[in-house]
Amino acid sequence: MSDFRGKQLAALQAKIAALESSGRPDVGCLPFGAPEIDVCLPGGGLPLGRWHEITGVGMEVETGAAPAAFTALAAAPLARRGEAVWVMRRDDLWAPGLIGLGFPADRLICVCAKDDADALSVTEDALATVGVSCVIAEVEDVDLTAGRRLQLACERRGATGFVLRRRPYGGGARQDATGSAAATRWRIASAPSQPAENLYLGDPRFQVVLERCRGGRTGAWILEAEKAYSWEAGDVAHPLRLVAPVGDRELAPATPRTRRAA
């Protein structure tokens, strides 16, 4: 029962926030808890009520494992405030793995779309729905119009979108300009873990590059998943912990791309 009340309360809060700031709701942000990262982001944390673009590196562009894990961790605190929707093209997301990361799989609605256009319109629909706090969409590409539409959908209820860019298996590389409507763009790669006793695997680590950030600065860090994090525990800590900063230039050659104006 408490779950239901909590949900209602969260939806109520979201609604009030939307009423207070007519049109564009300022639904705040989600701080990482590490000043090094938060200072780069506008408002001191991951902006909510916007959408974020997340991409992978190398093979991960197709398998999308590390980006998905990072997204699940970043979105886990949001799932506490309402329902989460995961829109995918391939249904290879495995709920026991989500549970292992501390993401509440029983609050997740999975949707399998037929193509990119379908996935984007489903995402838009879900973002504008009462009671949905975050939507994660796996699509290949978001063009300017679709990105703008996603942004408008986010603003209607203050829901947060995560667009996980994932290429279909065997698809050709597509490197076109995308997503200038996104609030941030992240590039995620997995990083070797550092277990305490040098025997087994440690907590998953990610090499995170904030490639673009509206109203903020870019940066690169190594983050580690908090083992003890559980979305139910009500702890304020973010499920991702900063381990080490990475020099900006260090990662730049890995992605030889022409610079675009932010």
Partner 1 sequence: MAAVRRLHAVNAAGKAQGLSVGQKATDAKALVPDLVTAEAEPEADARALSELVDWCVRFSPAVAADGTDGLFLDITGVSHLWGGEAELMADLRTRLKANGLPFRLAIADTPGAAWAISHFGKDGTIAPPGGQAALLAPLPPAALRLDPDAVAQLQRLGFRRVAQLMEIPRAPLGRRFGAHTLMRLDQALGRWGEALVFRRPPTPWVARLAFFEPISAPEDMARVTADVCARLCTKLETHGQGARRFEVGFCRLDGKVLPIEVGLAVPGRDAARLAKLFAPKVETVDPGFGVDAVLAWAYEVEPVSGRQGNALGSLAPAPEDGLIPLVDRLANRLGHDRVWRAAPVESHVPEQAVRRAPVLEKAKRDATPWDPEAPRPLRLFRRPEPLEQVFAVTPDEPPKQFRWRGRMHQVRRAEGPERIGEEWWSRDIGDVSIAHVRDYYRVEDQDGGRFWLFRAGLYGDPEAPPKWWLHGLFG
Under the rule (CB under 8 A), what is the footprint of partner 1?
8, 11-12, 15, 59, 63-70, 72, 83, 92-102, 105-106, 108-114, 118, 122, 125-126, 129-132, 189-193, 195, 199-202, 204-207, 230
Minimum distance of partner 1 from residue 234's CB (angstroms): 16
C-beta separation of 259 from 108 below 8 A: no
Give one DSSP letter per residue of 150-174, joined into a string: HHHHHHHHT-EEEEEE-PPTTPPP-
DSSP state of 178: -
DSSP state of 22: S
d(CA 223, CA 245) in angstroms, rounded, equals 9
CB 62: neighbour CB atoms within 10 A?
15
Q: Please count the CA atoms within 13 angstroms of the CA of 59 that sit on its side-chain side.
A: 3
* Closer to partner 1 by Cβ: residue 94 or 144: 94
Minimum distance of partner 1 from residue 40's CB (angstroms): 22
Minimum distance of partner 1 from residue 148's CB (angstroms): 22
* Closer to partner 1 by Cβ: residue 34 or 111: 111
CB 41: neighbour CB atoms within 10 A?
23
* Closer to partner 1 by Cβ: residue 1 or 177: 1
Partners of 137 in the β-ladder: 87, 163
* Closer to partner 1 by Cβ: residue 106 or 176: 106
* Closer to partner 1 by Cβ: residue 114 or 260: 114
